[in-house]
Amino acid sequence: MLTAATLLLAILFDRAIPSPAPLLVCIVALAGALSGFASAITSAALAVTGTVLLLFFHRAMPLATADLAQLGLLAVTTAGTAAISGLMRERLLGTFAAERQSHATAARLSAALDQVDIGIVLLDAETRAEFINCAFRDYFAVPDDIADGKPPFVALMYHGRDTGAFELPEDELATFIAQRMEMVRIGDATPINIALRSGEVLRFVCAALPDGGRMLSYTPVTDLVRHTDAPSRADYYRSLRDPTGRRLIRHLRAAE
């Protein structure tokens, strides 16, 4: 439609306007970008045909060599523009489709990881948390606004320290955090057990990813670990798993 309108204007105004050839090439490129190769090549054919009719309509004599050269150049230019713009559109559509599929897969994976009881944290190459699943947020009482803000791993460790999540003496927390940071930095995959004040025991594993990031997993192994505790301290360990704290109070009174 734009090509036809341009040619009609050129016929109406005759020599009052310059040659519409550059504008026709632009219209062909626009058609290819918006509707693909078929629309672009149709516009190109219409542009060349309309230009031929325009020259015949305004010329009483046969077309000169210069006119034929101009028509040939217009035909080659519009055809090339149609091919390039159509190909670029197809590639862009393919890229967008692949990105949509990738985002859909990532969304499904994220939803699946939120359903497991294993804490999962994905770090980028700069150790910033790109993903934190619901289990980790629950274990360490990480608010959504902090977790969704892509905090660095060290900030997550200090958050656990500040909220009293770790079952460690105060004077050992700094060393503990430094060791965990070093493990993540070098990608040490040695599993370690982390005891929480809530009574949970999590097995921490750091896995190095090909892009330089890290995947941290916190698997609950409370029952496995507590079964190996000293029998003489069984009441104390059970009291740690009592959410009300009544068993811990009774245990402390009995110790006194």
pLDDT, tens digit, 9 for 90 and up, residues 170-193? 888 889 999 999 999 999 999 999
**Cα-atom radius of gyration of the chain, to the nearest Å?**
35
Whole-angstrom distance, CA of residue 112 vs CA of residue 168: 32
Q: What is the mean pLDDT of the chain?
A: 79
Q: What is the pLDDT of residues 78-131, one digit of tens each?
A: 888 888 888 888 888 888 888 888 888 888 888 888 888 899 999 999 999 999
Instruction: List, in order, residues 6 or more apart from 225 with CB less than 8 Å away.
Output: 193, 195, 201
Question: Cβ of 87: how many Cβ atoms within 10 Å?
Answer: 14
pTM of the predicted structure, to 2 decimals: 0.57
Instruction: For the beta carbon of residue 73, count every other beta carbon within 10 angstroms.
Output: 11
Two structure tokens written together for 252: 């402390």
pLDDT 10s digits, 139-182: 999 999 999 999 999 999 999 999 889 988 888 888 999 999 99
Q: Which residues, 6 or more positions from 221, have their beta carbon under 8 angstroms from its beta carbon?
A: 193, 201, 202, 203
In this prediction, residue 242 carries a pLDDT of 46
Look at phi and psi of residue 215 and say left if phi exceeds 0, alpha if psi is from -120 to 50, else beta: beta
Q: Residue 229: what pLDDT?
A: 53
Question: Using CA atoms in the order 155, 156, 161, 167, what is the torsion angle rounded to 10 degrees?
Answer: -150
The answer to whether 10 touches 20, Cβ cutoff 8 Å, is: yes
Per DSSP, the three-state class of 4 is helix
Distance (Å, whole) CA 175 – CA 181: 10
pLDDT digits (tens, 9 = 90+) for 34-68: 888 888 888 888 887 777 776 666 655 555 666 66
